[in-house]
Structure 1
Amino acid sequence: MTIGDHLREFHDLPAFTFPDSVKGPEDAAGLPNPESVAWRVAVESYESDEEWEDAFGRFLASVDTTKVRALVVGAWSDAYDNGPEKIIEALVAAKDRLPALRALFLGDIVMEECEISWINQGDVSPLLNAFGELEEFGVRGGQGLVFPAVRHERLRTLTVETGGMPVEAVRGVAASELPALVKLDLWLGTSEYGGDSEVADLAPILAGTRLPALRHLALRNSEMQDDICTALAAAPVVARLAVLDVSMGVLTDDGATALLTGQPLTHLITLDLHHNYLSAAIRDRLRDSLEAEGVQVDVDPDDAESDEEDDGTVWRFVAVGE
C-alpha cells in the first residue's frame, strides 16, 4: 500500500487546496468561507516556480485567517532534499494571524510528490509550542523527524505517519505531557527506513500515566507488531481504551494469541488488526471471542500475504514502507 491521495478531510472539515491562481485579496470572493474548510497550501514538489512560504504569503493576503480553523501543509519544493524548517518558521511567525487555528497537518505529500520515507522532516515542537490552542496535529514523514518531549494542554489528536519513526522521536512522544489527548496514532515503520525503536521505548504510552484522557490508541505499521501486542496484553492503558489499533504491520499468530490470552478486551468498541499475517484459525478465534461481546473486530487479511523464497525464507512487510 502507498499513500496516493491527499487528505480529503481534516478536523471534520473538507479539505480545500488553496489555488495557485489566487494572486491577492481581490480574488477572495471566489474562495470558500474561511472557517468552512481545511485549507491545504502546497506547491509543486519538482521544479516549483514558487516556494511554499510565498504561497503561504498569498494565502495570508487572500483569506481572513482569523477564522481559519484547520490548515494542511502540502508539498514543499524538493521535499526529498529539503526539510520544512522555513515552513515552520513562517507558520510560527503567522501565529497571531491564526487565532482560531485548531488543527494543523505537516506534510500531506503523496507518493507522486515524494514517497513517505523520503520526505525530509525536522523539529516539529515549535509548532506545538506556538499554537497552544491546537486540538489536532499530524505529521507525515520520518526522515529527520525530531519530536522532543512537550507539554500541550489542549491537544486531543496526535498522528505521526512514517515508514520508519526514529527512536528519539518515539521517546519524545512517549515522554510528552498531553493531558487532553484522546487519540494517539503512531506509524512506527521498519528499520529499513529508520524505524529503530523497541517496545521498551513505548513504555510510558503503555502505562498511560501522561495520557489520562486517551481512548484511542494506534501503534501500527510496524515490523515489531507481535512484540507490541505482547506488551499490550498487560499494559495498564488498555483497560480504559475504546479503540485499539494494531493494524498495518507484521502481526502473526504469536502476537494475536498473546493479545487474546492477556487482559480482557471485551470493553473495547473496536479492535483493528487489518493487514495481518494471521492464520484462519486465529482470525476465527478473535471473532468468536470478541464479537459475541459486542467488539467490532477487523481481522481481514487484505493483501498481506507472506512471500516465501525457494530456500524457505519468508518475507513479511508493513503496509506502508518506502
Structure 2
Amino acid sequence: MTDIEHPGIFHGLPVLTLPEPGDPHAPPLPPADSVAWRLDCLWDEENTFTELWRRFLGSVDCARVRALVIGPWWQDEYEPLRPALDLVLAAADRFPALRGLFLADVISEECEVSWLELTDVTPCLEAFPRLEELTVRGCGESLSDTDMLALRPVRHDALRVLRFESGGLPGSVVRAVGASRLPALERLELWLGVTHHGGDATVADLAPLLSGGALPRLRHLGVQNSEIQDEIAAAVAAAPVVARLDSLALSMGTLGDTGAQALLDGQPLTHLSELDLHHHYITEPLQQRLRKALEPHGVRLDLDGPDYWDPEEDEPRYVAVDE
C-alpha cells in the first residue's frame, strides 16, 4: 500500500516513540508538552501494551501531554484495538491538555491497513471534549461487531481536524460524520477504500457533507482513495461546500476522464489554493485542460499518476490504499 507512513510530525509536534526501559542510548525524556508521544510495543517481547501504558503514565507528566499516537499495540500475535483503547479512555481525566490523538499509526510492514481491527471511536470524542485533532487508521471489516470501525453522531465543539485513513471505510461512519455537530471542524479527510474491505459508502452518504450546512467552518475537504472517484468528482463539481473551501483532495482513487470532465464542466475551482488529484487515471489531454483552467489562477494542481499505469493499455484501476 502507498500513502501510508509513520508521521514525523503530528498536531504540530515532533513524534517521539517512548524508548524501551533500560535503553542506555536513550536521551532524557523531553518536556511532556514538547512532543507527540508515540506508544509502540510490537517488537518489545517483554512488555504488553498494558505494561507500556503503565510505564508511560509513570514516566511522563500526563497533565501536560498535548498529543498521543498509538502505534502497534500488540506483540507477536495481533489483537484488536479495543482493549488498548479502553486503557487510554479510562485515564482520560489525567490528560486535560490532550489536543491530538492518532489511533493505529501502523504501516504495511507491521500490519496491512485492511487487517487492523478497530472499534467505535465515538468515546474518544466524548472522553476528550477539548480534542482538536483525531486521526484513525484502519478498515471497517471484522469478524466481530465490537472490532468494527464505527462512529455515532456526536457533538464536539473543539474538533478542528478529522481524518479517517482506510482501505474500506463503512458508509455508516461517513453518515455519522454528516449527522454530527462539529462547528469548529476545518479539515476533513475520508479515505473511502473498496467494497472488498468494507468500504460501502455511496455518493448519497456524502450529501450532508457536500451541502455545506453540516460543517460551517470547513476549509479543506478530502474524499479520497475511492473506487467510485468519478462519481464523487461529479457530485463535488456541483457541491455548495466547494465555494468556501481553500483546498480539495480527490486523490488516491480511480479518477479518470469522466471525473476530470465533470470538474471542468462544474462550478469554478479557481479560488482554491490546491487541488490534489494524485494517483489518477486521467489521460494527457484532460490533464492539460485542467492545468490550463487552474494553474494560471495560482491553483497548485497535483496530477502525479500511479507509477505502474500505462494510459495506452486497458488495465484495471486501483485505489492507492486497499490491502
Please tell me the TM-score bracket, short chain as reference.
Answer: over 0.9
Identify which of 108, 114, 117 aligns with 2:114.
117
Q: Give the aligned partner of residue 241 of structure 2.
A: 237
> Unmatched 5+ residue regions in structure 1?
none
Aligned residue-pair number: 315
Preserved contact between residue 3 and residue 110 of structure 1 (Cα < 8 Å): no
Offset of residue 108 of structure 1: 0.2
Identify which of 96, 105, 123 aligns with 1:99.
96
Secondary structure of the corresponding residue to residue 136 of structure 2: strand
Secondary structure of the corresponding residue to residue 291 of structure 2: helix
CA distance in 1: counterparts of 2:164 and 2:38, whole angstroms: 18
CA distance in 2: counterparts of 1:260 and 1:300, whole angstroms: 18
Q: Give the aligned partner of residue 30 of structure 1.
A: 28
Q: 1:206 to 1:306 in 2, by over 3 A?
A: farther
So what's the TM-score if we normalise by structure 2? 0.92
Preserved contact between residue 33 and residue 65 of structure 2 (Cα < 8 Å): yes
Q: Give the aligned partner of residue 7 of structure 2.
A: 7
CA distance in 2: counterparts of 1:146 and 1:80, whole angstroms: 24
Q: Give the aligned partner of residue 258 of structure 1.
A: 262
> Unmatched 5+ residue regions in structure 2?
141-147
Offset of residue 51 of structure 1: 2.1
CA distance in 2: counterparts of 1:140 and 1:93, whole angstroms: 21
Identify which of 50, 67, 74 aligns with 1:77.
74
Matches within 5 A, 1:1-322: 1-2=1-2, 5-21=5-21, 30-44=28-42, 48-77=45-74, 81-143=78-140, 144-303=148-307, 305=309, 314-322=315-323
Preserved contact between residue 168 and residue 322 of structure 2 (Cα < 8 Å): yes
CA distance in 1: counterparts of 2:75 and 2:281, whole angstroms: 36
Preserved contact between residue 79 and residue 119 of structure 1 (Cα < 8 Å): no
Offset of residue 4 of structure 1: 6.0
Secondary structure of the corresponding residue to residue 162 of structure 2: strand
CA displacement, residues 56-90 of structure 1 (integer Å, 9 cap, x when unaligned): 11101000111110000000116985222122211
So what's the TM-score if we normalise by structure 1? 0.93
Secondary structure of the corresponding residue to residue 127 of structure 1: helix
CA displacement, residues 268-319 of structure 1 (integer Å, 9 cap, x when unaligned): 110110110011111110010011111111112242516998xx6x311001
Q: 1:81 to 1:89 in 2, by over 3 A?
A: same
Greater Cα shift, 99-108 or 13-22 = 13-22
Q: Give the aligned partner of residue 144 of structure 2.
A: none
CA distance in 2: counterparts of 1:168 and 1:4, whole angstroms: 23
Preserved contact between residue 227 and residue 253 of structure 2 (Cα < 8 Å): yes
CA displacement, residues 149-191 of structure 1 (integer Å, 9 cap, x when unaligned): 1111000000100001011112112211110000001110011
Task: Tell me which amino acid in the other structure corresponds to 1:266.
Answer: T
Q: Give the aligned partner of residue 145 of structure 2.
A: none
CA distance in 2: counterparts of 1:130 and 1:22, whole angstroms: 33
Task: Tell me which amino acid in the other structure corresponds to 2:187.
Answer: K
CA distance in 2: counterparts of 1:110 and 1:72, whole angstroms: 13
Secondary structure of the corresponding residue to residue 255 of structure 1: helix
Secondary structure of the corresponding residue to residue 59 of structure 1: helix
Identity %: 51
Q: 1:4 to 1:209 in 2, by over 3 A?
A: closer
CA distance in 2: counterparts of 1:79 and 1:103, whole angstroms: 28
Offset of residue 135 of structure 1: 0.4
CA displacement, residues 31-56 of structure 1 (integer Å, 9 cap, x when unaligned): 011111000011117x8432212211
Secondary structure of the corresponding residue to residue 30 of structure 1: coil
Preserved contact between residue 95 and residue 131 of structure 1 (Cα < 8 Å): yes
CA displacement, residues 186-207 of structure 1 (integer Å, 9 cap, x when unaligned): 1100112111111101111101
Task: Please report the RMSD computed on the Cα atoms of aligned residues, expressed in angstroms.
Answer: 2.1
CA displacement, residues 207-258 of structure 1 (integer Å, 9 cap, x when unaligned): 1212000000000011110000000011010000000000010000000110
Offset of residue 112 of structure 1: 1.4
Secondary structure of the corresponding residue to residue 102 of structure 2: strand
Preserved contact between residue 22 and residue 58 of structure 1 (Cα < 8 Å): no
